[in-house]
Every structure is written in structure tokens, then in C-alpha cells.
Amino acid sequence: MFGLTGPRLWRVTAAALLLSGLAAGPAEAHDPGNTRAPAVVDLGALPGGRSAATALNDNGVVVGDSTTAGSTTSHAVRWNRARRITDLGSVDGHDTFALGVNQRGTVFGFAENCSTDPLFDCALRWSAAGTLTRLAPLAAGKGARPVAMNDFDTVVGHADSASGGHRHPVRWTSGGQVVDLGLPSGAIDAVATGINNQGLIAGLAEYPSGPRALLWDRDDAVVELPSAPHQATSWTTGVTDDGLVIGEIARLDGFHMARWRYRREGTRPPEVIEAISYTFGMSRSGISFGAEFRWDRSGRVTVLAPPRVDGVGQPAAVNDAGVVIGSVVAPDGTGAAPVWWDRSGIAHEYPKPTPNAEARAHAINNAGITVGRADFSAGQHAALWH
């Protein structure tokens, strides 16, 4: 499953995608029994440029973006297992960004401000060989944003309707055709937030009363997810291959991490963490996390300890071993340093190129390899910790 990592309905943005699909298994570098210290590696950039890594798969293929010398245009890029960078190019001179990579090595992302009415983004997919496919919008000149992709190259997201003014949830087939999932009755807008390898799509619709968590089954039929007691609104982050839907609900007292167990014969109301909590993302197997908590499949909730007494933790991703990675910043948001939280919820800092360098961790894979960005002597480059 590849899914969204933002805690709010309309935070369906590229930055949120860390993609949860970069989930993982046992993390060698983060195993408490492993005394070997993590090391930081400069992944480099396109000649003369700045770069950042946003995602990686379990085979060690990393994706992100980079500028080039004398240009501010961002190009989507990919680093292979040997850490060699490949320029995936810009589109008609527009910035391109890679959001995620599946286990086959297929990359998805978008080109910024490339549609005409209104000025919006265009959905893209690159094959493992680097061949670009422009994923069609619902109408010529309209915008589209991909949000998630499964291991069969099916991409989901949202697109402007032909008449404009409304966002429709969409699915792009492996052949690049766009399928309009449509708006549920009474909905104003809707988006898809995740898809599993069985083709089950998680998403949400915006009604006059607020957002509501939804699924689309393999026949593209809408499945409304049941409400929890006293629930006002709800939304989803993604869905695992066995049908665990991760998301969040809102009550009068605030927001709560939530999850539904989808079954064809019927889905029960969600399990909910009673403490005020926010869902930032999830692993492939359905471990979810937020600003302060990690929620395991077994139901165990672990508090993520503050990385520093005077620091603010910013979790960004989790793997299937339960290792959460992210950053710690000063209260004013400066001085970012990469961190990881172990299975007990204790925070540890990754090394930085120099003590005063800023660095952030964005994603982690099955081998416990973490990627992000850091300030190296040559400038801001994509970074890898192992």
C-alpha cells in the first residue's frame, strides 16, 4: 500500500507523501541490540544543484528531486541501489517532483503548474527504465494530483472536474487511462488517499457537514465507513493489503487516531484512540503514528518521547518494525536534526555531516535505511542513513 501521510482533509499535498508506502520490516541500523552506529551518506545531486530524497522502496531505490547549476527548476530524480543519480527530467520546463516508488521501481509524481485552467499540477509516472507517462486529467487543460500508487503501477489521487470547481477522486490504470470514481451523492469534493495491491481504494468526501471517510471497492463502488460514537467527521490515510483502513475522526473534544477493519460482509465502527491524537502516516502493514503516538496492529499504543527537553519532534514515517523516523527542531522551528524512535518510543538522533548542519529524515524502508536531506560541504543534498 502506498498512502497519504497528512493528518487533515485538505492537506493532501506532495509534502505529505512520504509515503507511507515506504514501510518496512526489521530495521538493522535501528535494532536496539545492534551497537553499530548509523552513518550518514551524501547521495549527491545533479551537477551544481541542490537535492532532497523523499521516498525509497525495499530494494534501496531512492527518489526525490534536484536542481541543476544556475537553475531553480526542480527535476524529479532517482538513485539506484549503487547510489547513482538519474535525471527524470522536467516537463515543458515545469518543476517535477517524485513522490514515491513501488517495489517494481516505478516512480510517480507530478509537474507543478502545468495545466492551464485553473493553473494546477499534472500527474506523472516513470517506469523503472525511466520512460515518462503523463497521466491524463479528466479534461484537457485541467489539473490532476497523484497521491498514492500500489505495486501494480495503479495510481490514485484527485483531478479537477471537466466543469471546474470540484475535485473528483480518480484512478489511473497501469496503462495510463484515467477513471473518474465520481462524487458520492451529496458530496462537494472527494479525493483518493491510498490504494492496496488488491485494488481497494481509501479516500474521503467533503459534504456540507464536513469530511467523511470512504472506500472504493475493486468494482469502484463506494463504501461508506461506519461512524464511531459522537463522531462529527472522519477521513482516511491509506489501506493495507488485508483491508485495515487507517485514518482519523473528529469529535467535539478534538481529533483522534482511528482505524477500520474492512470486510466485504460488513465493516464495524472504527477503533479509536481516546486520547487527543493525529494520524500522520502508516506503514505497509498498518502501524500508524502521529505527533506523540505509535499505534501497533496489536492495539498497543506507544508514546513517542520528546527527542530533547527543548526540542519538538516531527515524526515523518514508520516501518513495519515500528521504527518511526523524522526530525527534531527548536521551538521556533530552526535547527532541524534527523531522529528515530525505537520500539520503546525512545528517540535517538542520527549523525549529521557536521554538528551545525541542518538535516531532516523523510522515509524509511524494510532494511532500516532512512533517507532525507542534509547540509553537506557541497550544499544541501539528499542524505541516506544506514
pLDDT for residue 24 is more than 50: no
pLDDT score, position 203: 99
Residue 105 lies in a domain: no
78 pLDDT band, cuts 50/70/90, is: very high
CA distances from 37 to 30, 32, 40, 334, 385 (A): 9, 11, 10, 25, 10
| Model pLDDT for residues 309-334, shown as the tens digit of each residue | 889 999 999 999 999 999 999 999 99
Domain count, the chain: 1
- As a whole-number percent, the residues of the chain with pLDDT over 70 amount to 89
Residue 378 lies in a domain: yes
Residue 377 lies in a domain: yes
Residues 6+ away with beta carbon under 8 Å from 355: none
Decide if 56 contacts 36 (C-beta within 8 A). no
Residue 23 lies in a domain: yes
Decide if 72 contacts 50 (C-beta within 8 A). no
pLDDT for residue 355 is more than 50: yes
Q: Is 86 helix (H, G, I), strand (E, B) or coil?
A: strand
Edge-to-edge strand order for the sheet containing 271-272?
233-239, 244-251, 254-261, 271-272
Residue 332 lies in a domain: yes
pLDDT for residue 12 is more than 70: no
pLDDT for residue 345 is more than 70: yes
Dihedral sign, Cα of residue 97, residue 25, residue 237, residue 137: positive
| Model pLDDT for residues 202-214, shown as the tens digit of each residue | 999 999 999 999 9
Residue 322 lies in a domain: yes
pLDDT for residue 5 is more than 60: no
CATH code of the domain in which 220 resides: 2.120.10
14 pLDDT band, cuts 50/70/90, is: very low
Distance of alpha carbon 86 from alpha carbon 70, whole angstroms? 19
Q: Is 244 helix (H, G, I), strand (E, B) or coil?
A: strand
Residue 263 lies in a domain: yes
Mean pLDDT of 29-57: 84
pLDDT score, position 22: 30
pLDDT for residue 35 is more than 70: no
- Helix (H) or strand (E) segment spanning residue 134: strand 132-135
pLDDT score, position 174: 97
The closest alpha carbon to 386, from 324, 254, 371, 374, belongs to 371
Cell numbers placing 227:
461512524
Decide if 125 contacts 166 (C-beta within 8 A). no
Edge-to-edge strand order for the sheet containing 178-180?
144-149, 155-160, 167-172, 178-180
116 pLDDT band, cuts 50/70/90, is: low
Residue with cell 531505490: 61
162 pLDDT band, cuts 50/70/90, is: confident
| Model pLDDT for residues 163-178, shown as the tens digit of each residue | 777 899 999 999 999 9
pLDDT for residue 288 is more than 80: yes
Dihedral sign, Cα of residue 37, residue 297, residue 286, residue 257: negative
Mean pLDDT of 57-62: 98
Of residues 272 and 266, the one with the higher pLDDT is 272
Cell numbers placing 337:
536534526
Cell numbers placing 81:
541501489
pLDDT score, position 28: 40
Residue 121 lies in a domain: no
196 pLDDT band, cuts 50/70/90, is: very high
pLDDT for residue 4 is more than 50: no
Average model confidence (pLDDT) across the chain? 90
Distance of alpha carbon 103 from alpha carbon 128, whole angstroms? 10
| Containing structural domain, residue 325 | 2-60+151-385
Kindly report the length of the chain: 386
